[in-house]
Amino acid sequence: MIDIAEIEIKSGNGGNGATSFLRTVFTAFGGPDGGNGGKGGDIIFKTDTNISTLADFRHKTRYFAQNGEDGSSKNRAGKGGKDLIIFVPCGTIIKNKETNEIMCDMDTPNSEYVAAVGGKGGLGNSCFKSSVNRTPRKSQEGSPGEYFSICLELKLLADVGLIGMPNAGKSTILSIISNAKPKIANYPFTTLDPNLGVVKHFDKSFVVADIPGLIEGASNGIGLGHQFLKHIQRCKILVHVLDVSLDNSIENFNIVNEELKKYDKNLINLPMIVIANKVDIASDKQISIFEEYISRRNLNLFKISAKKGMGDLESVLNKLSKMLDF
């Protein structure tokens, strides 16, 4: 997934107003007839639900709207420049690269944002005619369009975020409960990009994101931490997946939670449930110690083996559906 892009945008310049005088056989002194210049085209961003990455901006980085045409004689106004519509995925944040100011957070489908307004067309000399100046030779130049160097940043829009250490089984769980087909293998950092899946549960549906495995130091950017953590900020519920067959599963649980807190203290306050995965290869002692610890944290725990199809994922989906109701 390409989730950061830097581009240049410029709206169209306004067309110049014309300086012209009507000259025909029967109207030798027909007066000024210079038309106005046309408005420059706008740069408009629009969200498209069929786009999921910013990959299109990797190769094309300059986007210029059309200039307005100049006015002409016989009071003919110049044609306005055509607006340039740039399609981006839902969840795209538009920032001014120079100031780092957020210009717009495009988090709803089919929303539009005018990022750069086209320049105004200049007035033709016919607009300057008055009782004291019947033959004005003055006309206006069109105003220039707006230019910005901007940064596009994509944050996934998901109801539920699967978080946890690398190789905890998040991708496998996502592939079982949704229509997503993530790459799955038994080694750390299999998932280098967040995966999205739509879960349909009875009469409800919700979006689940498999957030790549977090490690200690992720909040400081270690292991691409910042790129992964930012996708969690839009989630409504977190599902913390742990490999309970490891003796340090409690330590891993606390490491991930600490990284959430360091990155954004609000993340740790999101509703959370816990999945103890790989119970098929965990000892009874490992499971009971972890279960007791999670119980003291007053969190709901679900014990499963995603790979073997053991446990009750249906109960997990029931719980998530109820939590999303409010």
Question: Residues 261-317: pLDDT tens digits?
Answer: 888 888 889 999 999 999 999 999 999 999 999 999 999 999 999 989 899 899 999
The CATH class that applies to domain 1-154 reads: mainly beta
Burial of 271 (0-12, 13-18, 19+ CB in 10 A): middle
Give the C-alpha separation, 17 to 34, whole Å: 7
Give the start-end residues of each E strand in the chain.
Answer: 4-10, 43-47, 62-64, 84-88, 92-96, 102-106, 112-116, 147-154, 160-163, 195-201, 204-210, 237-243, 272-277, 300-305, 310-311
Residue ranges in the chain whose pLDDT is less than 50: 1, 185-191, 217-226
Give the C-alpha separation, 303 to 306, whole Å: 10
Residue ranges matching CATH 3.40.50.300 in the chain: 160-324
Tell me the CATH number for domain 160-324.
3.40.50.300
Q: Are 34 and 135 in contact (CB under 8 A)?
A: no
pLDDT at 227: 57
The dihedrals phi and psi of 295, each to the nearest 5 degrees, come to -65, -40
Strand partners, 182: none
Category of 278 on φ-ψ map: left (φ > 0), alpha (ψ -120 to 50) or beta: left
Residue ranges matching CATH 2.70.210.12 in the chain: 1-154
pLDDT at 224: 44
Burial of 198 (0-12, 13-18, 19+ CB in 10 A): middle
Strand partners, 300: 273
Q: Are 259 and 293 in contact (CB under 8 A)?
A: no
pLDDT at 265: 86
